[in-house]
Amino acid sequence: MSMQDELKSAVRAALADCDCVIGWGPGPEVLRRSPLFARQEADADLFRADFQAVNNPALFLPEYKGRKVGVVVKGCDARSVGQLVNEGLIRREEVHVIGFPCDGVIDVGKVAARLEGLCEPGEVTSLREEAGAVVLTHPGGELKLEKNDVRADKCGRCRFPNALDADLFIGAPMEPSTGEDPYDDLKALESRPYEERMAFWEREMSRCIRCYACRNACPLCVCRDQCVAVSRDPHWLTQSDGVRDKLFFQIIHASHLAGRCTGCGECERACPVGIPVLLLKRALSRRVEDLFAYRAGIDEGRPPLLTFSLDEPAIKERHW
């Protein structure tokens, strides 16, 4: 049985005691799948777990707290599930986790760059997978792209391509393609003087439309309807759309995610104008990992910034 068929069977079986099963189904464009919520057996046939299975389905789990739901996860999505459990935002026993080996997901922006001069991504009419590659059909012919060249940046540094904690794992587990995260993206930015970095953020944030897709796509953003960005009483943030006002929100968002962000990258992917907001979260994740030896969604227990320990081993100042 192929992995896709195994997946469909797993979804059908899970529906017996789950309210719904969340995964990926057909999307409005060839290159993009849509999150799919199966509630009846017939829906299972629409499920796919492949190169276009981009969205993080863990995002939806807190909405279903108190009911049992199934969820199909990539390795990175499973880390979000783990972190939601760690923080008590969902109950592990209420989630039926179906894992599969992930060899990376598409970055439509990278595909767009490769299609330049041929067409826009929305004009691609079909996609087929070949060993390690995808072949796209566009109005002018076919284009073969190596998956490694057009996969999301996060996939290039993924150490956990298989769900760390799954109730059912389909397919053969993948070997991780890399060891430690070198944080090359951050190092490149940090090698520049402060003025240039500020100019970089001001330039990037200048096209922010404040849709808050970054916030709403984040599985660990838990304030939901009570976000400071939109509260009116008290009116924490101005409605003025200056670049610094917009950056201010991103700093708040990143701070709230410090030590909680699993690096799924959905904030950045969701941004309709392509602002690299994941960088801010990665800067804080690296710091938390250095200081507290805690990796969100991998290490168990309460995130260090949600607790207080008199003897943080990595904080040396008290012994001076």
Report the interface residues with another protein, using CB under 8 A. 20, 27-30, 32-37, 39, 55, 59-60, 109, 112, 116-117, 119-120, 122-125, 139, 203-204, 207, 209-213, 215-217, 224-225, 230-232, 235, 238-241, 266, 269-270, 272-276
Nearer to another protein, 191 or 240 (CB): 240
DSSP 291: H
Nearer to another protein, 176 or 274 (CB): 274
- Cβ 198 to another protein, closest distance in Å? 17
- Cβ 295 to another protein, closest distance in Å? 25
- Cβ 79 to another protein, closest distance in Å? 19
Read off the tokens for 92. 């592990």
DSSP 106: B
Nearer to another protein, 2 or 238 (CB): 238
Q: CA 287, 289, 290: angle at the middle one, nearest 5?
A: 65
- CA–CA separation, 92 and 88 (whole Å): 9
- Cβ 18 to another protein, closest distance in Å? 14
Displacement of CA 117 from its chain's centroid (Å): 30
Nearer to another protein, 198 or 315 (CB): 198
Displacement of CA 295 from its chain's centroid (Å): 15
Nearer to another protein, 259 or 263 (CB): 263
Peptide bond into 234 cis (omega under 30): yes
Read off the tokens for 177. 């393609």
Largest CA distance in the chain: 68
